[in-house]
Amino acid sequence: MADLRCTIAGIESINPFWLASAPPTDKKYNVERAFAAGWGGVVWKTLGVDPPVVNVSSRYGVHKDLDRGIIGINNIELISDRPLEVNLREIEQVRKNWPDRIIIGSMMAPVEKELWQELAIKIANSGVHGIELNLGCPHGMCERGMGSAIGQVPELVENTTRWVREVVDIPVFTKLTPNTTDILLPAEAALKGGAHAVALINTVNSITSVDLDAMAPTPTVDGKGTHGGYCGSAVKPIALHMVAEIARTAETQGLDISAIGGITTWRDAAEFIALGANALQVCTAAMLYGFKIIEDLNEGLSDFMDAKGYKSIEDFRGKALPNTVNWNDLNMNYDLKAKIDNDKCIECGRCHIVCEDTSHQAIIIETTDAGREFTVIDAECVGCNLCQHVCPVPDCITMEPVDNGLPYVTWPNHPKNVTRVAE
């Protein structure tokens, strides 16, 4: 049985799966249900200072696929609207009841040193294992100068991180916003400010849909709508990229990573770990399927590790980073050709349609007594693999490497580029 224990910022957890700061971690009742289900830790929903928070109704908009499956949620909920002292008292109670589980206290304040430090001290005194600085919320709070309004300015990221580090002796996680052009800038600022770890990504600024009857964005509040924070499986590709950038860049070495963004299955979890994540946070999947999804996450990750011979998470953490390179470092001479297994083909024609209409006209159709047969024209196929992605039958279309005898050549050394530069 694989060992799922992990360590991040010096904090040891029974498994890498924590619930992110969100509605599922808003109170003692929810958190204890999560721990009973098997979650390794939680980040308590973000705590703030006066004036009190007032939330609206409704709060969620959704983005669905064609089969009505939810692939993303847009929320306009703010930080905790429960009294600070009630939250702190409940944190103390849960810590006593579940001594082997992790609680991180999330916090947010205006850009005033005294406010950050006073709140951080109160949260630390409740017994949390660490503090997460919410510098990512892209709605409601940012209009008040908090959340992503701070996270988008590296100088403010550094300052707030340093302010908290000055007054607490527990690990500090700086939560980064994805609503920026270069995630490395706030990550470097967090490191300069003394962060032990970064948590990313927070939600992506978005409008998920428009109610065409009300003519207003959803969720709609008394006929009006606004932008919100987008999360769920749809943001996973953005999160993977940003986690990898921090993990593989020299200037951000020394930062542990708490990865967030669309983690729904054990495979999602394994991908983030392979790109350098020390631990993981989950929210949307729990909101859609309930806390018992942790059973699938733990079992699936354990089975994967057993199958691969990984005894611990550290055995494969960051293993994909050496193969994560800049575009200019890819092999320009590598060649693939699509191959279609007509025995598996159901003759839907999707491969032909997408190649004919939007790619390179490399698939032809021949009608035989047995039906339609699809053939790839190797001379026209560029190995883009669009046909493979749209094919509904597993392994019907494969991408086969071509042994062309050419050496590994990156773009800077490619003959066409060398000639262009010389000219």
Q: Phi first, then psi: what are they for 218, rounded to 5°? A: -105, 150
CA separation for the pair 181, 183 (Å, rounded): 7
- pLDDT score of 130 more than 70: yes
Mean pLDDT for 383-400 is 97
Asked if residue 316 lies in contact with residue 310, where contact means CB atoms within 8 angstroms, the answer is yes
Check if 6-323 and 328-422 are the same fold. Answer: no
**SS3 of residue 175 by DSSP:** strand
Model pTM score: 0.95
Instruction: Return d(Cα 101, Cα 244) in angstroms, integer.
Output: 27
Query: To the nearest whole number, what is the mean pLDDT of the chain?
Result: 96
Query: What is the average per-residue pLDDT within 310-318?
Result: 98
Q: Does residue 51 have a pLDDT over 70?
A: no
**Under a CB-based contact definition with an 8 Å cutoff, are residues 14 and 318 in contact?**
no
SS3 category, 325: coil
Residue 142 in this model has a pLDDT that exceeds 90: no
User: Averaged over 331-344, what is the pLDDT?
Assistant: 97
Say yes or no to pLDDT of 213 above 70.
Answer: yes
Let me know how long the chain is.
Answer: 423
Q: Which residue has the higher pLDDT, 422 or 99?
A: 99
Q: How confident is the model at residue 1 (pLDDT cuts 50, 70, 90)?
A: confident
Residue found under tokens 């850009």: 111
Where do the structural domains in the chain lie, given as residue ranges?
6-323, 328-422
pLDDT band at 35 (very low <50, low <70, confident <90, very high): very high
Tokens representing 363 are 């698939």
Torsion of CA 383, 386, 390, 395, to 10 degrees: 20
pLDDT of 287 higher than 70 = yes
Across 154-196, the runs of DSSP E, i.e. the strands, are 172-175
Nearest residue to 172 (alpha-carbon basis) of 152, 158, 156, 153 = 158
Q: Where are the beta strands (DSSP E) in 148-290?
A: 172-175, 197-200, 204-206, 209-211, 216-218, 228-231, 256-260, 279-282
Q: What is the DSSP track for 226-249?
A: --EEEESGGGHHHHHHHHHHHHH-
80, 146 contact by CB (below 8 A):
no
At 368, is the pLDDT very low, low, confident or very high (cuts 50, 70, 90)? confident
Check residues 371 and 127 and name the one with the higher pLDDT.
127
What is d(CA 419, CA 371) in angstroms, rounded to the nearest whole number?
A: 49
**Residue 40 DSSP label:** -
Percent of the chain with pLDDT over 70: 99
User: Using omega within 30 degrees of 0 as the cis cutoff, is the peptide bond preceding 58 cis?
Assistant: yes
Q: Please give the average per-residue pLDDT across 291-305, as a whole number.
A: 98
What number is the average pLDDT over the span 332-339? 97
Given this model, what pLDDT does residue 40 score? 98
Contact predicate 252/243, CB 8 Å: no
Q: Which CATH architecture has domain 6-323?
A: Alpha-Beta Barrel (3.20)
- Check if CATH label 3.30.70.20 holds for domain 328-422: yes
For residue 120, the surrounding DSSP H or E stretch is helix 113-125
Q: Are 150 and 143 in contact (CB under 8 A)?
A: no
Burial of 23 (0-12, 13-18, 19+ CB in 10 A): middle
Q: What residue type is 17 in one-letter code?
A: F
Distance CA 263, CA 15 (A): 15
Which residues 6+ apart lie within 8 Å of 17 measured at CB?
39, 40, 41, 269, 280, 282, 294, 297, 298
Asked if residues 77 and 55 have their Cβ atoms less than 8 Å apart, the reply is: yes
The torsion region of residue 382 among left (phi > 0), alpha (psi -120 to 50) and beta comes to: alpha
Q: Any idea which residues carry the catalytic annotation?
A: 137
